[in-house]
């Protein structure tokens, strides 16, 4: 074993960063044995130096992150500060000064991953980011390495624990969205400002990363169709239950049937209770990967939190340190297919549409005519009526999303349709 330690700079010491530092200290001997050399925490960049950080030597704390990554004797920089800047500049500076990087920064990777990979390649450094997607679940490395010889056609999963907790509580307790969000906040699953989670931004960033790796093409967060869960109601959950379904916020990345394009989307969807994703409860994550040779693979586990995310960071740290000792680098960006990302309108989906209609003869015929004119085939219809008012629930066969959207707009113009109560896609069949 080499006796000279590999030096690690930690950028950020919040929930994840402090856990990374703790594990590096308490498991130092095991990490050294696995790597082939000891690892030493050489500096920790923070914004509030006065805060007490148990287990970290005060002399290691600095507010000058730039000076830390510019030192020249740092072997690996662990970036867990999040956001676009200063993270992007610090990572690039680390590459320039001889360090490889382990990051958990999904937003930055989804926005500017190509440039970061290019900088890593230019300077001969590693860029690893298992912790950026699905917490402790090994997912990035299996896609980048284990399935490198296979053809991945679809990635489907629950990649945000906060929204899964909220939807699960709405389903199991009958709570409304606001009540379930309040419970998630009280338990620490939701941030004080939950926008990134409940509006789907977090899941969309992860979908962009997964699609890029799975399909060997460049996908940015702006390419991902995004819908959150704020409009999901207790009535939607009840409708799903009547269909033998539940509602989940899904990230779906698909290769087109002809192989000429890909799609990436995040939105709530009804899935059958028989589907394995339907049983993913609380704040857990699960991802299905469908590959030609391997078939269906499912990855399941805690998708967030200090310890789970730190586990993924430390796994990358071990790999990067091993590469350093061997004077090698791991896999970089693979974007050779250069496939275009199709817009949501071209995606073929199914819809569950709930309409408030007048309870009188001929309404169903009018609604059916609209679907036929838009080229959308109806799978099932359920109608209930009383005292001149009725509800009509239509589930379609698969059709282009643009045709389904056009159908909804045409339905709104019917005199007999009082309102569109809810619209939700149906997946997993």
Rg over CA atoms, the chain: 24
Cis ω on the peptide bond leading into residue 304 (within 30° of 0)?
A: no
Q: Residues of 21-45 as b/e, b for ≥16 C-beta within 10 angstroms?
A: bbbbeeeeeebbeebebbbebbbbb
Token pair in block for residue 217? 């093409």
Segment (H or E) for 41 = strand 39-45
Q: Give the catalytic positions in this structure.
A: 206
- Quote the DSSP letter at residue 220: -
Q: Which residue has the tokens 């409708």?
A: 239
Do 366 and 412 meet the contact criterion of CB atoms below 8 Å apart? no
Q: Which segments within 217-371 are labelled E, that is strand?
A: 225-226, 245-255, 262-272, 284-291, 295-302, 348-358
Alpha-carbon torsion 53, 54, 56, 59, what sign? Answer: positive
């Amino acid at each position: 074993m080499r006796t000279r330690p590999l030096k690690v700079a930690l950028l950020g010491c919040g929930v994840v960063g402090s856990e990374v530092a703790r594990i590096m200290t308490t498991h130092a001997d095991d990490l050294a044995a696995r790597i082939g050399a000891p690892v030493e925490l050489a500096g920790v960049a923070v914004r509030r130096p006065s805060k007490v950080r148990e287990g970290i030597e005060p002399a290691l704390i600095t507010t000058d992150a730039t000076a830390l990554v510019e030192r020249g004797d740092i072997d690996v920089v662990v970036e867990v500060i999040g956001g676009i800047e200063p993270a992007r500049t610090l990572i690039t500076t680390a590459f320039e000064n001889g360090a490889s990087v382990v990051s958990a920064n999904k937003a930055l990777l989804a926005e500017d991953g190509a440039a970061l990979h290019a900088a890593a390649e230019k300077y001969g450094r590693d860029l690893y980011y298992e912790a950026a997607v699905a917490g402790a679940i090994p997912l990035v490395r299996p896609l980048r390495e284990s399935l490198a010889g296979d053809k991945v056609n679809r990635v489907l999963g629950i990649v945000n624990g906060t929204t899964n907790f909220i939807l699960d509580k709405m389903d199991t307790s009958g709570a409304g969205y606001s009540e379930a969000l309040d419970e998630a906040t009280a338990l620490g699953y939701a941030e004080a400002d939950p926008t990134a989670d409940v509006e789907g931004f977090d899941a969309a960033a992860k979908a962009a990363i997964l699609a890029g790796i799975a399909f060997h093409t460049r996908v940015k967060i702006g390419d991902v169709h995004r819908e959150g869960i704020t409009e999901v109601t207790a009535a939607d959950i009840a409708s799903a239950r009547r269909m033998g379904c539940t509602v989940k916020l899904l990230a779906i990345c698909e290769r087109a049937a002809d192989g000429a394009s890909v799609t990436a989307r995040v939105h709530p969807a009804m899935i059958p209770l028989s589907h394995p994703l339907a049983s993913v409860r609380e704040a857990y994550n699960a991802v299905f990967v469908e590959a030609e040779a391997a078939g269906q693979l499912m990855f399941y586990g805690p998708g967030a939190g200090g310890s789970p995310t730190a586990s993924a960071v430390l796994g990358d740290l071990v790999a990067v340190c091993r590469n350093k000792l061997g004077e090698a680098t791991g896999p970089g960006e693979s974007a050779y297919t250069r496939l275009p990302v199709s817009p949501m309108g071209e995606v073929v989906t199914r819809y569950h549409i709930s309409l408030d209609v007048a309870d009188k003869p001929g309404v169903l015929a009018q609604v059916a005519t609209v679907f036929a004119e838009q080229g959308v085939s109806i799978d099932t219809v359920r109608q209930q009526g009383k005292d001149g008012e009725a509800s009509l629930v239509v589930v379609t066969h698969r059709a282009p999303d643009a045709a389904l959207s056009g159908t909804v707009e045409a339905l709104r113009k019917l005199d007999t349709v009082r309102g569109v109560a809810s619209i939700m896609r149906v997946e997993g069949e």
